[in-house]
Chain A
């Protein structure tokens, strides 16, 4: 008998699938605009183990979009807020909070036992490190990024190196978000798609994204662009 809290996941998620989610482990790297929502969505859904990595603390500039930030936790670690949030919302979910930055030396240890890696980082170099580490660990990665009214999501299977196709040979660390900022609904939307793709991978259901889902909310456009 499943906990009643999952009653409204049914039948979109079957009882067997719900039971399976309990034993799944997802690494969420970045706990800001995207990562906060990803933790919220996966935790409420019932993914049993979430490993959340972020070295940052909240400040005022996060309040426009980061669901875990509030006037009450400014200056506090983001990963601590993720853990506290899940304790309040769904204590059946075990959250391992790691306050620190992911790099080549620690990434594989963070990924141990994980089924899927969620890329909720900002900046390009750290994403490339995550992609290489996930490939080494043999774990699929769900990439997401936002800037202003635009967002993108794609799945990267080990060895696909799709970030190179998306970012070309750019030498810049940041993208359009430097001038356009990040909006609340763009973060929630892209994180929601990342969460959905993660669950599809975890349960082997549906049609996982094949290309780069690129969304331009300002012009009302959404394309799944082949990455070859």
Chain B
């Protein structure tokens, strides 16, 4: 099990940041991703492996007012 934005989410062997983004249906561009507090750049989404128990933050980058 992992946490995504404080909610429990099932973990699978080989899961990547990209996989979490797709499973959680973050469909728009401009995301901010942190895993265990560490910022993950967009070019690492495909390769960054999520381990069981990881704490993942995925939010849309929003800045309108």
List residues of chain A with CB within 8 A of the CB of B59: 152, 166, 212, 214, 225
Smallest Cβ-Cβ distance to B64: which chain A residue: A177
Q: Are A152 and B6 neighbours in the complex by a CB distance under 8 Å?
A: no
What is the interface size of chain A, counting residues whose CB is below 8 A from a CB of the partner? 45
B1 proximal to A (CB < 8 A): no
Q: Can you sample 26 A-B contacts with CB below 8 Å?
A: A30-B65, A122-B64, A123-B63, A123-B65, A124-B63, A144-B65, A145-B62, A147-B63, A152-B59, A166-B32, A166-B59, A167-B61, A168-B39, A169-B39, A172-B61, A174-B63, A174-B64, A175-B64, A176-B29, A176-B30, A176-B61, A176-B64, A177-B62, A179-B28, A182-B65, A214-B59
Residue A48 lies at the interface, judged by CB distance under 8 Å to chain B: no
Q: Which 7 A-B pairs have the closest CB atoms?
A: A177-B64, A147-B62, A122-B65, A175-B61, A175-B63, A175-B62, A223-B5
| Chain A hits for B30, CB < 8 A | 170, 172, 175-176, 178
Residue of A nearest to B28 (CB): A176
Is A121 on the interface with B (CB-CB < 8 A)? yes
| A147–B25 CA distance with the chains assembled, in angstroms | 17
Residue of A nearest to B60 (CB): A176
Q: Which residues from chain A sit less than 8 Å from chain B, CB to CB?
A: 30, 32-35, 119-124, 127, 144-148, 150-152, 165-170, 172-180, 182, 212, 214, 219, 221, 223-226, 228
